[in-house]
Amino acid sequence: MSVIVEKTKHPYLRLEQVYDALSYYYEHKDYFNKKLREDISFLTQLKKKYPSKLEAKLK
């Protein structure tokens, strides 16, 4: 991620806001990665416990 790329994606943000957000992310990257893994694991468990009725009908 770079400030220029993110600024292009979010033109309504000022450069300072993009820089601050990226700085915060990189300072807490381990936390965000851990949280993402936990969320993916939780969703995988939910999908196993509650399979999609729509997917079953489409098969």
Q: What does the pLDDT look like over 27-49, one tens digit per residue?
A: 999 999 999 999 999 999 999 99
pLDDT tens-digit readout, 17-27: 999 999 999 99
Calculated CA dihedral for residues 39, 41, 46, 48, nearest 10 degrees: 160
pTM across the whole model = 0.65
- Written as one letter, the residue type at 9 is K
* Exposure letters 15-50 (e unless 16+ CB within 10 A, then b): eeebeeeeeeeeeeeeeeeeeeeeeeeeeeeeeeee
